[in-house]
């Protein structure tokens, strides 16, 4: 089959590789119908994720059809159309039993970040993929939900929702600020609306992303690319008090610091961004603030709930898809996604 293979920093190719095979009784083989590219794939390609080594097939989002199952797979059946979670999890270890699938302890469970597709197991940017723990790492797609919409629930929608909005404990009437309006930040913007936030303020350096944020339900947008004036702009939207919830959706020290500048006493700060550099936590200023700070890696335990909302047209997940490509146009898809500032790409559907 053909697959997108990583060959070290800045090197990838769409090439022939052996078909995946069932290796464990809990595996399934899924033929990919639609896959996509994530910012994380671009980080891997830059060499930022040393755990990913030469020869790895990339991609951790996908929708596909089951073509083979191992002897211990009971729920997934040949011919089923499934959404693949970006997290593989056994469903029975102590963390899985608490719904903390991203901390699954099993060999080939997510266990931190290790076994996510495209990291230590082969990924979804391929004609077929081996899915470990197929009963627990996949979700049945309801009738009427398109591949494009379902695909957004492999990673970005549950990430924005679970790690941003739910961890941030958004309540009706809250003023929510989302710093970083990339796909994940926009997923937080979109799902903050589910809780009746009174204002959703998108903050980004890029005016195009801020334009897009309005389409996802942001009531206000603030460009923070010059000086500190934007902080007062945000404070003015909150009667000078600060926001109730700040969601960090970039993953750099500056944006984490930005979240701390715009919150009111009693606020929540939900960190979603993956940080590669040390972040300052100025407790000397924060100790008095009564704030709650959260962190986390998406578990996708809320994906079934989000799928229901998509099926009932309460969430327009397909809005994220700005470009379409055929599977064998994978390299063009990377080019378009990699030049998002010019192409205005948010998510590309590759099918």
Query: Considering only residues 145-164, where is the footprint of ligand NAD by CB under 6 A?
Result: 155, 159, 163
The residue within the footprint of Zn ion, chosen from 57, 76, 104, 189 (CB under 5 A), is 104
- Is 118 one of the binding residues for ligand NAD (CB under 6 A)? no
Choose the one of Zn ion, ligand NAD, none that binds residue 272, judging by a C-beta under 5 to 8 angstroms depending on kind.
ligand NAD
Beta strands in 45-89 (DSSP E): 62-69, 81-84
Binding mask of the shown chain, residues 51 to 90, with x at each position contacting Zn ion by CB under 5 A: --------------------------------------xx
Choose the one of ligand NAD, Zn ion, none that binds residue 20, judging by a C-beta under 5 to 8 angstroms depending on kind.
none
Q: Which CB sits closer to Zn ion, 255 or 301?
A: 301
The residue within the footprint of ligand NAD, chosen from 59, 118, 183, 242 (CB under 6 A), is 183
User: Residue 130 CB, nearest distance to ligand NAD (Å)?
Assistant: 22
| Residue nearest ligand NAD, Cβ-based | 182
Q: How far apart are CA 341 and CA 207, in angstroms?
A: 10
- Is 250 one of the binding residues for ligand NAD (CB under 6 A)? yes
What count of residues does the chain have? 351
- Is 93 one of the binding residues for Zn ion (CB under 5 A)? yes
- Is 39 one of the binding residues for ligand NAD (CB under 6 A)? yes
Q: Which CB sits closer to ligand NAD, 185 or 193?
A: 185
Q: How far apart are CA 206 and CA 181, in angstroms?
A: 9
Which residues have a Cβ under 8 Å from the Cβ of 120 and sit 6 or more positions away? Answer: 51, 52, 56, 114
The residue within the footprint of Zn ion, chosen from 3, 38, 96, 156 (CB under 5 A), is 96
The residue within the footprint of ligand NAD, chosen from 36, 40, 221, 301 (CB under 6 A), is 40
Q: Which CB sits closer to Zn ion, 109 or 242?
A: 109
With contact defined as beta carbons under 8 Å apart, do 115 and 90 qualify? Answer: no
Which long-range contacts (C-beta less than 8 Å, at least 24 apart) are formed by 283-292? 285/260, 286/260, 289/263, 289/265, 290/265, 290/266, 291/263, 291/265, 291/266, 291/267, 292/169, 292/267, 292/268
Secondary structure of 148-192 as H, E, C letters: HHHHCCCCHHHHHHHHHHHCCCCCCCCEEEEECCCHHHHHHHHHH
Query: Considering only residues 251-280, where is the footprint of ligand NAD by CB under 6 A?
Result: 251, 254-255, 272-274
Rg (CA), the chain: 20
Output the six-digit token pair for 31.
């033929």
What share of residues in the chain are helix, strand, coil (percent, to 5)? 30, 25, 45
| Site residues, ligand NAD (CB under 6 A) | 38-40, 155, 159, 163, 179-185, 203-206, 209, 224, 249-251, 254-255, 272-274, 296-298
């Amino acid at each position: 089959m053909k697959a997108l293979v990583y060959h070290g920093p800045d090197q990838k190719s769409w090439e022939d590789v052996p078909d995946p095979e069932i290796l464990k009784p809990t595996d399934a083989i899924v033929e990919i119908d639609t896959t996509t590219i994530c910012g994380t794939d671009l980080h891997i390609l830059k060499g930022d994720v040393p755990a990913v080594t030469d020869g790895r097939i990339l991609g951790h989002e996908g929708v596909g059809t089951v073509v083979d199952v191992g002897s211990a797979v009971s729920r997934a059946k040949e011919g089923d159309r499934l959404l693949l979670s970006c997290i593989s999890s056994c469903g029975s270890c102590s963390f899985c039993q608490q719904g903390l699938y991203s901390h699954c302890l099993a060999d080939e469970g997510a266990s931190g970040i290790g076994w996510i597709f495209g990291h230590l197991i082969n990924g979804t940017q391929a004609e077929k993929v081996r899915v470990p723990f197929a009963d627990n790492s996949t979700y049945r797609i309801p009738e009427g939900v398109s591949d494009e919409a379902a695909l957004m629930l492999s990673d970005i929608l549950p990430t924005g929702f679970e790690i941003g909005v739910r961890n941030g404990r958004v309540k009706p009437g809250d003023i929510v600020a989302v710093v970083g309006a990339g796909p994940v930040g926009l997923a937080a913007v979109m799902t903050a609306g589910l809780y009746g936030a009174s204002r959703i303020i998108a903050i980004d350096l890029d005016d195009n992303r801020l334009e897009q944020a309005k389409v996802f339900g942001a009531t206000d947008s603030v460009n923070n690319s010059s000086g500190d004036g934007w902080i007062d702009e945000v404070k003015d939207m909150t009667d000078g008090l600060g926001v109730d919830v700040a969601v960090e959706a970039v993953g750099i020290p500056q944006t984490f610091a930005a979240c701390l500048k715009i919150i009111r006493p009693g606020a929540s700060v939900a960190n979603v961004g993956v940080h590669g550099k040390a972040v300052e936590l100025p407790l000397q200023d924060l100790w008095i603030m009564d704030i709650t700070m959260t962190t986390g890696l998406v578990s996708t335990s809320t994906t079934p709930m989000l799928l229901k909302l998509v099926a009932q047209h309460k969430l327009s997940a397909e809005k994220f898809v700005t470009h379409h490509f055929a599977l064998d146009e994978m390299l063009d898809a990377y080019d378009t996604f990699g030049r998002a500032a010019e192409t205005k790409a948010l998510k590309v559907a590759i099918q």
